[in-house]
Structure 1
Amino acid sequence: MSDGIVGNAKFRCSNCDSEHELNEEDIYFEATGGSSREMGDETEYSALISEQCSECGALYEIGMKVWEYPTGIINYSDEEANGVEDLNVNYEIYHKPPEPERDSSRVMGAAAGGAIFGASIGGPFGALIGGIIGGIIGDSVAKGDKNG
């Protein structure tokens, strides 16, 4: 499943002929429509850019629509523009990077080690206290480990 659309655009100001470029960070797409079809869901994404030329101050507007159907495939796109010439737009399906899984084996190992150590020193009560302290230490080590 995709997480949205990203795009970039290059164009010239129709007033002063200066070249402009919009990056993924400059264009915000939002899902504005959709429906269920034979091969799954269709989603319509829209973006509207309304800015002034940095060279001459003339206003330009670019409207972009992208249809994703089936999921993961750009099926169709359409652009409308005022104040620009030679509009060249590229779109891509965006996928968020997967969340890293948390490894709890380090915490469990520290808790077990603490329990064994505590039992050897203080019996059952020492095992309980050692397990709790080992779990706390193991959890803090796991949270501090940035590389997995």
Structure 2
Amino acid sequence: MSFVSGTFSVVCNQCGVQTDFNSDEADFESTGGSERQMGPENGYSWESSFNCDCGNEIEFDYNVHEYPQGAFNHEDVRITGATVNDMFTYDFNDEPEQEDFE
């Protein structure tokens, strides 16, 4: 999805190796939204898991919300097996295309 840029980095809790994800690797899906006072609040989520080179399993659930539409509201990353070192940056000015959700 085109609203993220930069790099998302995690550091393995077991061996300390950093793994980077470029924005083109992120596979955010719409989680829906709700109507609020200033318009819709939209949510997006990317869930993934992988094994570090040391064998440690790392899982994360990366959530981003825009509210009002076109503005970053907040982010939340739940992660096991690692810690977050760096987050993506966001630009909601370009509305996602419908095909991004199919």
Q: TM-score range, shorter-chain basis? A: 0.7 to 0.9
Classify 1:10/1:86 alpha carbon distance in 2 versus 1 (closer, same or farther; 3 Å).
same
TM-score (norm 1): 0.56
Cα offset for 1:57? 2.3
Given that 2:23 and 2:88 are in contact with CA atoms closer than 8 Å, whether structure 1 keeps it comes out as no
Q: Structure 2 vs 1, CA of residues 86 and 37 (structure 1 numbering), >3 Å: closer, same or farther?
A: closer
In the alignment, what sits opposite 1:73? 71
Structure with higher RCO (Cα < 8 A, 6+ apart): 2
Q: Aligned match of 1:85 in 83, 86, 93?
A: 83
Supply the RMSD in Å over aligned alpha carbons. Answer: 1.9
Q: Kindly state the Cα deviation for residue 28 of structure 1 after the two structures are TM-superposed.
A: 0.7
The reply to whether residue 21 of structure 1 matches residue 20 of structure 2 is: yes
User: How far apart are 1:5 and its partner, in Å?
Assistant: 3.3
Aligned residue type for 2:16: D
Per-residue CA deviation, residues 15-70 of structure 1 (Å, 9 max, x unaligned), is: 111111111122111111201111111101111121111x2121101111111001
Structure 1 unaligned runs (5+)?
Answer: 97-148
The structure with the greater share of residues assigned to strand is 2
More helix by proportion, 1 or 2?
1
* Contact 1:43-1:69 within 8 A present in 2 as well: yes
Could you tell me which amino acid in structure 1 is paired with residue 13 of structure 2? S
Aligned residues: percent identity?
Answer: 31
Go from structure 1 to structure 2 and tell me whether the alpha carbon gap of 1:25 and 1:4 turns closer, same or farther (over 3 Å shift). Answer: closer
Please give the residue correspondences for 1:50-61 in structure 2 after superposition, counting only pairs within 5 Å: 50-53=49-52, 55-61=53-59
Q: How many residues are treated as equivalent by the alignment? A: 93
Distance 1:20 1:4 in 2: 21
Summarize deviations over 1:62-85 as a string: whole Å, max 9, x none. 111111001111101111100112
Higher Cα radius of gyration = 1
